[in-house]
Amino acid sequence: MNHPGWRRTLRRELAWLMTLKIAALALLWWLFFSPAHRSPVDGRAASRRFAVAASAVSAPPPAYAREERRP
């Protein structure tokens, strides 16, 4: 069946795999999820996004500035 010492080999291989996996996850976290990449989204940010915060309303974009206003 299994060769002698297979448990030790298995343990070593699993340890290597786990190390590689953690390293890969750390790299992904650093590339995409670290605090530098986070969008601070909360109720206030959403209200600015939806233009319902007092400071969110500004002049219309130039492309539409010349159009007639809605009757």
Taking the C-alpha atoms of residue 68 and residue 62, their distance in angstroms, rounded to an integer, is 13
H-helix segments, the chain: 6-28, 43-49, 62-65
Contact string (CB under 8 A) for another protein, positions 20-39, x = contact:
------------xx---x-x
Residue 7 contacts another protein per CB under 8 A: no
Candidate segments 2-10, 14-22, 63-71, binder of another protein by CB under 8 A: 63-71
Give the tokens for residue 20.
Answer: 């590689």
- Binding residues (CB under 8 A) for another protein: these are 32-33, 37, 39, 41-47, 49-54, 56-61, 64, 67-71
